Amino acid sequence: MITEQLNFSGRVAIVTGGGTGIGYATALQLARLGAYVVVASRTADELEKAAAAIAQESGGKCIAVPTDVKNEQSCINLVQKTMDTFGKIDILINNAGGTRMGPLENIPTRGWDSIYDLNVKSAYICTREAGKHMIAQKSGAIVNISSTSGIGGVKGGAHYASAKAALQMFTTVTAAEWGRFNIRANCVASGMIASPRAAAAWDAAGLDQAEMGANIPLRRPGTPDEIANMIVFFASDAASYITGQTIAVHGGPSLGGIKLD
């Protein structure tokens, strides 16, 4: 039975990067819990298939809006299309993100800017545009998807780690400024997640998931659904007094010290 606090019936949610991985898992969970869902990503064919699958599996309504979140007008169009279709926006999941790793001395300015545009600027624009409607209705929930790289850093990802750290601070300030409008903003810092694309990339590179998870206390990478669980909680009424927080979903802390069996 769906508890009242996890009942999203009649609510409208936008999920960027909603065609695959964590975004898809989140959109599907929200739709199953009664939300009307708008999924956005660049690849139109893939996105349409994802929206159709979500609608079929959930029995709810899910529409695809092809969107390049690095393009300001595209983000504005996403929000406007959602308003034109549903008349309101209750939930925004800023999930789109990613990186290409490389040593700091080799990162070109264009590459640095591209990672910031994808991971920070996109969330700012979508938040600003959706926020106009949330402020008018005096309610809303925003969840930004960061990475544990934004907490502890990662060698080879100076641009990515700093962008994700910026996203976490953007979450804090959004929550502080917009709490007076009954808008909550929280952030999920994702650890190593075996999404279909990530798993395929690991396999292609000859990487073993068991070995990759050896330093994680739970001894494995996570799944998209395990991140989606936290995202959905933050978006729900069960988190009605939680805002401005970043929580790491990463299988536990990796610590130095003595070797344990």
Q: Which residues are catalytic?
A: 160
CA torsion sign for 15, 17, 18, 22 is negative
In three-state form (DSSP H/G/I as H, E/B as E, the rest C), the secondary structure along 115-130 is: HHHHHHHHHHHHHHHH
Which neighbouring-strand residues pair with 14?
Answer: 38, 92
Q: Measure the CA angle with vertex 41, ends 44 and 25; round to 5°.
A: 110
In three-state form (DSSP H/G/I as H, E/B as E, the rest C), the secondary structure along 194-248 is: CCHHHHHHHHHCCCCHHHHCCCCCCCCCECHHHHHHHHHHHHCHHHCCCCCCEEE
Q: Is 71 helix (H, G, I), strand (E, B) or coil?
A: coil
Beta-carbon contacts of residue 89 (< 8 Å; ≥ 6 apart): 12, 13, 14, 79, 82, 83, 130, 133, 134, 140
